[in-house]
Chains A and B, each alone.
Chain A
């Protein structure tokens, strides 16, 4: 308990579509971040890249497991190369818009 700066409900976090992370303000001005795949893997610690502070995210992992299989096109379980090609596919998608 003492290790967490705060415990934050997922409802208070914001989804960053570009970086593909949920985030919440850190008192240093940077932000705590956690990805959907982390949430789907039952990870609940969001970290700040500029600080020692961490928060615990309050959420229902099942929500994100479902979302992952529907929305993320099973990218997470695969190798790095595959996720790279997924990013490329994303970029192509954006170009056509």
Chain B
């Protein structure tokens, strides 16, 4: 089940309307097979959404909703607006290609495919090329139907250790720039390449020296091996394997202040004008705070997002344009408090009576909790209102269906535990495996 809320002027929420939606509503996949699709990846542009979904047989397809007017939903969905997710039939002509990731800049879509055998992964681009989002020279390779291919094949010319075949590990997009983490047999670990808007130094060239990078450029990280990347509108944050951070680009909103001196960082995420680093103590938030984006009252440089509960590591953090989501899967906060009480009470109990110990929280009762904060003008936090949220609030919770071990026969080994969240331009998204469809099939 995929749910969404927020800005919806072009039907990008795929809930069969073009009205903003300030509560989480189910998304509709047009002609979906039995309604059972697991969303693996989701990406939001200005007014369009891409979803990479897998059916229970493991077959993957890319779906799209919202604005297709710039070709961002492919040549067969041009000049129209889609209020539901439609299958994107991309005439790419790539034999045996399997979609791997989806990503989007403002009006551009990126589809990453893996190919059989020893072939390099391919990144296809659809839509607007206003800021050289395509990563292709005007004379570069174009597949038929207005689809462009990112010129990864140019990389060996820039760096001989990036000889093909190339494997893409992640694609991160800001408003108008793209950074890909990739490996090759000779790359000695993951490396970064980037292209698109570059005027603010977000692709390493100093401010004002380069307007856009037309072709993928090798980004150097001599300080260490890049583990993760996140892009804001004019800044880029790199997490290195040793937990240190590199920060490039605009600092006009203080989004880079103190970021490079953080240590032992687990994850990095960017809103358009903010930086969010998950550490063992909590989420470090930096940058614009005109609508509660930093999620804290403490406005000092060392402040952490202020959750109203003891800190526990989220399953994931997702940043939209000016709001942030944190997804937790586990015991609910209610159980959490109860289990703390339980531990205290059992400690006081005499060890001679172990049978008095209350049963441990059952592993079959996990709860999904989505928390969020920040800009909420379009109801994008799903709280039924449009006031900004200055401190994290519980947006949505759901008891997850977890089948007994011997019921799990299909491809989806982690059925019931799989949950994800994404955030876009004034939109929020949460997916969990659908209870009813599961229980039918697993019966």
* Residues of chain A whose beta carbon lies under 8 Å from any beta carbon of chain B: 2, 5-7, 11-12, 14, 25-31, 50-53
Question: Of the candidates A11, A25, A30, A51, which one forms a contact with B175 in the assembled complex, judged by CB atoms under 8 Å apart?
Answer: A25
Contact B106 A27 (CB under 8 A): no
B272 at the interface (CB under 8 A from A): yes
Residues of A within 8 A of B45 (CB): 29
Chain B 269-286, CB-CB to A under 8 Å as 1, else 0, gives 000110000000000000
Contact A25 B46 (CB under 8 A): yes
Contact A27 B47 (CB under 8 A): no
With a 10 A CB-CB cut-off, give which of A25, A28, A30, A50 has the most chain B CB atoms: A28
B233 at the interface (CB under 8 A from A): yes
Known: A11-B199, A14-B130, A51-B377. A28 touches B175 (CB 8 A): no
B191 at the interface (CB under 8 A from A): no
Contact A29 B199 (CB under 8 A): no
Contact A27 B272 (CB under 8 A): yes
A-B contact count (CB 8 A): 51
Residues of A within 8 A of B9 (CB): 28-30, 50
Closest chain-A Cβ to B130's Cβ sits at a distance in Å of 6
Contact A29 B290 (CB under 8 A): no
B29 at the interface (CB under 8 A from A): no
Contact B425 A2 (CB under 8 A): no
How many angstroms from the CA of A52 to the CA of B427 in the assembled complex? 17
Known: A2-B290, A6-B273, A50-B9. A27 touches B322 (CB 8 A): yes
B378 at the interface (CB under 8 A from A): yes
B375 at the interface (CB under 8 A from A): yes
Closest chain-B Cβ to A55's Cβ sits at a distance in Å of 12
Contact B290 A27 (CB under 8 A): no
Question: Of the candidates B130, B199, B233, B377, which one forms a contact with A28 in the assembled complex, judged by CB atoms under 8 Å apart?
Answer: B377
Contact A52 B377 (CB under 8 A): yes
How many angstroms from the CA of A25 to the CA of B232 in the assembled complex? 13
Known: A5-B290, A12-B199. A29 touches B7 (CB 8 A): yes
How many angstroms from the CA of A7 to the CA of B288 in the assembled complex? 12
Chain B 42-85, CB-CB to A under 8 Å as 1, else 0, gives 00011100000000000000000000000000000000000000
Q: Majority SS of interface residues in chain A?
A: loop
Q: State which size class the interface on B falls in.
A: 20 to 34
How many angstroms from the CA of A59 to the CA of B290 in the assembled complex? 24
Contact B233 A29 (CB under 8 A): no
In the A-B complex, the 4 residue pairs with the smallest Cβ-Cβ separation, listed nearest first, are: A27-B321, A29-B425, A28-B426, A27-B322
B12 at the interface (CB under 8 A from A): yes
How many angstroms from the CA of A7 to the CA of B253 in the assembled complex? 10
Residues of A within 8 A of B47 (CB): 29-30
Contact B426 A27 (CB under 8 A): yes
Residues of B within 8 A of A27 (CB): 272, 320-322, 375, 425-426
How many angstroms from the CA of A28 to the CA of B233 in the assembled complex? 14
Contact B426 A29 (CB under 8 A): yes
Residues of A within 8 A of B106 (CB): 25
Chain B 325-338, CB-CB to A under 8 Å as 1, else 0, gives 00000000000000
How many angstroms from the CA of A53 to the CA of B322 in the assembled complex? 12
Which residue of A is nearest B66, CB measured?
Answer: A29
**A-B contacts, 12 listed (Cβ < 8 Å):** A6-B253, A11-B211, A25-B46, A25-B175, A25-B425, A26-B425, A27-B320, A27-B425, A29-B46, A29-B425, A29-B427, A51-B377
Closest chain-A Cβ to B12's Cβ sits at a distance in Å of 7
Closest chain-A Cβ to B4's Cβ sits at a distance in Å of 13
Chain B, range 326-353, C-beta contacts under 8 Å to A: none
Closest chain-A Cβ to B426's Cβ sits at a distance in Å of 4
How many angstroms from the CA of A14 to the CA of B131 in the assembled complex? 9
How many angstroms from the CA of A32 to the CA of B129 in the assembled complex? 19
How many angstroms from the CA of A26 to the CA of B424 in the assembled complex? 12
Q: A27-B425, A28-B9, A29-B425 are in contact. List 6 more A-B contacts (CB 8 A).
A: A14-B130, A25-B175, A27-B320, A28-B377, A29-B9, A30-B46
Residues of B within 8 A of A14 (CB): 130
Which residue of A is nearest B375, CB measured?
Answer: A27
With a 10 A CB-CB cut-off, give which of B45, B46, B288, B424 has the most chain A CB atoms: B46
Closest chain-A Cβ to B79's Cβ sits at a distance in Å of 14
Residues of B within 8 A of A11 (CB): 199, 211
Contact A28 B273 (CB under 8 A): no
Chain B 252-294, CB-CB to A under 8 Å as 1, else 0, gives 1100000000000000000011000000000000001010000
How many angstroms from the CA of A76 to the CA of B47 in the assembled complex? 32
Residues of A within 8 A of B426 (CB): 27-29
How many angstroms from the CA of A31 to the CA of B46 in the assembled complex? 9
Contact A25 B199 (CB under 8 A): no
